[in-house]
Amino acid sequence: MERSASEPTLLCTLAPGSPPMSSITCEQLAQLLLLQEEEGRCGTSREVLVVDCRFPFEYEGGHVRGAVNLFTEAHVRDYFFFGGAASVARVAAGPYLTVVLYCEFSSHRAPKCAQYLRSLDRKLNLLRYPLVSYPRVLLLRGGYSSFFKHDQELCTPREYVPMLDERFTEQMWAHRRAERRRTKQLRRPLPRALSFD
């Protein structure tokens, strides 16, 4: 597949102090989204899948255009592996699907979801090692806060609600408590009959 001169190059680099996950800049993501729109690749056949890992009140207050809101590990698991739309997108785009995850600053929630996605992908593809279902998983460097500053035109709505917004304190704490309970349930060991031991 030939690249056109206008197609951006994905520079997958590690930011200092970041988890071992590749990243993409706000400028690169904006270029990819605009290129995707120009070429008419949308819906299930798109090559860039953007995942917003923030709480629903943050997402509803403004997100990258076309992003899906997956703020728990259970959402990530179901969307990517158990009948979710990402499975359809992966088949349509083939090996060229790029998954970009972000949270407010891409410093905690998005890296956590990205690591969970990669870990589960490895487990489910254990017999195909080193192949995985989603080989191109990137973090948006600087998160939504940086992207909003960079390109509000690609945000829907064109607003930014921070996690610590006082209007949503109760919702934030409710989501955090629920996530702790869900994480404990997901991390329980498998019954011996379902494990590889």
Which positions are annotated as active-site residues? Answer: 103
Q: Report the distance separating Cα 66 and Cα 19, nearest Å.
A: 26
Q: Report the distance separating Cα 186 and Cα 189, nearest Å.
A: 8
State the pairing for strand pair 98-102/23-24: unpaired
Contact, 142 vs 105, CB < 8 A? yes
How many Cβ atoms from other residues are within 10 Å of residue 94's Cβ? Answer: 8
Q: Report the distance separating Cα 24 and Cα 29, nearest Å.
A: 7
